[in-house]
């Protein structure tokens, strides 16, 4: 059974009070909270086998190396990668995307080529391609978006042509919650000889993700959004593509042989991991994967679909006159991300009001400025759910927003 109240006991921070109110943490699209098991894994590393990896024959180094590589195996299995050699440790999804843009893009994107994106991309899956296109004199195109926050898939066949070198798409939007049909995009991309990159920063933590089933060429995600520590992320690349890529960073650890004149590169995956890696947080991410595996990602997804369905109904039926809720109405194609705006109250004021009653939401453009502006607003307030959130917290959110709108409309009692 997926026992949310029992799960919540694993997260120390959820017992915290904010201005005398129980914390209602609804900023999970920005970063998730960490269970005691992950926190303990970090402490265990520093207390019991803190040493550098791959470099020593002494006991601590070998223990650290085993745990570090074991974490890579866990992550590889979690996304069903064909081999752990295809999983590269990075700091976050942003670094993973930049690695692809430089290591693959510089040698595979040429003048006149086209890169196809969606309008709902996070800046991390937009700016690197803008810069690459500028350097290579390539073009960026966008799949149109329908009014309900989904992609106009009827236009895709006309947009993916022989000029298309890459389709790079967010799996789940961090601003709308939209779950995009990335497998279908990949089929269409491969048909024309293009590659498909999936930004899984919001999907990997919230739903089963199988890179072989998706048949994606690249997948990026961050540990801190899936119960893991900050400063650790992963890049998956199909092995035959990864073997052809040149390293993004050079230096120690990623070399095979070095002379005063030249160097050769180590085998995968170390070829792309220059310098001392983020050992502790890699191990912490492995612990987060263990935690998610015990819960079962199908169960995590079903719990969030239930919350999303409930929240959609609560927002629809509440007294929230003038409030716009963005994104699809169908919980089957939507994650637990709720961005909303009202012309009467600035999102920052709304966020501050909610904070005073213990509710943590995000306000701003959510690193998706072009998307938010296309909605006709400068910013939104965003509530985002995860596996430890409850329907009671949805009620607290909707009641809090209702009270905030009344307060700013009528003033304090």
Residues serving a catalytic function are 367
Q: Which of 394, 410, 405, 198 is nearest to 322 (CA)?
A: 405
Count of all residues that appear for the chain in the document: 413
Q: Position of tokens 């909610």?
A: 354
Long-range contacts from 204-207, C-beta under 8 angstroms, 24+ separation: 204/78, 204/79, 204/171, 205/32, 205/292, 205/386, 206/172, 206/300, 206/301, 206/304, 206/335, 206/336, 206/386, 207/172, 207/179, 207/297, 207/300, 207/301, 207/335
The contacts of residue 154 (CB under 8 Å, 6+ apart) are none
Measure the CA–CA gap between 149 and 375, rounded to whole angstroms.
Answer: 10
Rounded to 10°, the helix 347-356/391-410 angle is 120
Measure the CA–CA gap between 207 and 112, rounded to whole angstroms.
Answer: 37
Measure the CA–CA gap between 212 and 173, rounded to whole angstroms.
Answer: 22
- Whether 164 and 192 have beta carbons less than 8 Å apart is answered as yes
DSSP assignments along 128-180, one per residue: HHHHHHHHHT-EEEE--B-TTSSB-GGGHHHH--TTEEEEEEESB-TTT-BB-
Secondary structure class of 193 (helix, strand, coil): coil
For residue 64, with 0-12 CB atoms within 10 Å meaning exposed, 13-18 middle and 19 or more buried, which class applies? buried
């Amino acid at each position: 059974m997926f026992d949310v109240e029992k799960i919540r006991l694993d997260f120390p921070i959820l017992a915290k009070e904010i201005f005398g109110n129980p914390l209602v943490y609804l900023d999970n699209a920005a970063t998730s909270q960490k269970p005691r098991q992950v926190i303990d894994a970090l402490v265990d590393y520093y207390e019991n086998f803190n040493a550098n990896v791959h470099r020593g024959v002494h006991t601590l180094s070998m223990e650290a190396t085993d745990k570090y590589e074991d974490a890579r195996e866990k992550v590889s299995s979690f996304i069903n990668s064909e081999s752990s050699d295809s999983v590269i440790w990075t700091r976050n999804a942003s670094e993973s995307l930049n690695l692809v843009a430089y290591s693959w893009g510089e040698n595979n994107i040429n003048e006149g080529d086209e890169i196809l994106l969606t309008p709902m991309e996070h800046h991390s899956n937009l700016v690197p391609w803008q810069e690459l296109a500028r350097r290579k004199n390539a073009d960026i195109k966008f799949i149109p978006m329908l009014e309900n926050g989904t992609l106009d898939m009827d236009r895709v066949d006309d947009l993916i042509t022989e000029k298309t070198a890459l389709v790079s798409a967010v799996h789940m939007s961090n601003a709308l919650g939209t779950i995009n049909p990335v497998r279908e995009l990949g089929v269409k991309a491969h048909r024309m000889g293009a590659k498909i990159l999936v930004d899984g920063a919001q999907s990997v933590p919230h739903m089963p993700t199988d890179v072989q089933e998706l048949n994606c060429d690249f997948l990026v995600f961050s540990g801190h959004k899936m119960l893991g520590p900050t400063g650790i992320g992963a890049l998956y690349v199909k092995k035959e593509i990864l073997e052809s890529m040149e390293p993004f960073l050079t230096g120690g650890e990623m070399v095979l042989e070095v002379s005063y004149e030249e160097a050769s590169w180590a085998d995968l995956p170390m070829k792309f991991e220059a310098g001392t890696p983020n050992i502790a947080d890699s191990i912490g991410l492995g612990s987060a994967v263990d935690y998610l595996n015990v819960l079962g990602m199908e169960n995590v997804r079903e719990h969030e679909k239930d919350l999303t369905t409930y929240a959609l109904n609560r927002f629809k039926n509440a007294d929230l006159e003038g409030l716009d809720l963005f994104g699809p109405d169908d919980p089957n194609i939507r994650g637990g991300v709720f961005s909303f705006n009202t012309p009467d109250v600035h999102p920052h004021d709304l966020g501050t009001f909610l904070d005073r009653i213990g509710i943590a939401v995000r306000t701003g453009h959510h690193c998706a400025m072009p998307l938010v502006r296309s909605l006709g607003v400068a910013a939104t307030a965003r509530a985002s759910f995860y596996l430890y959130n409850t329907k009671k917290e949805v009620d607290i959110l909707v009641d809090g927003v209702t009270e905030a709108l009344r307060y700013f409309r009528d003033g304090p009692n």
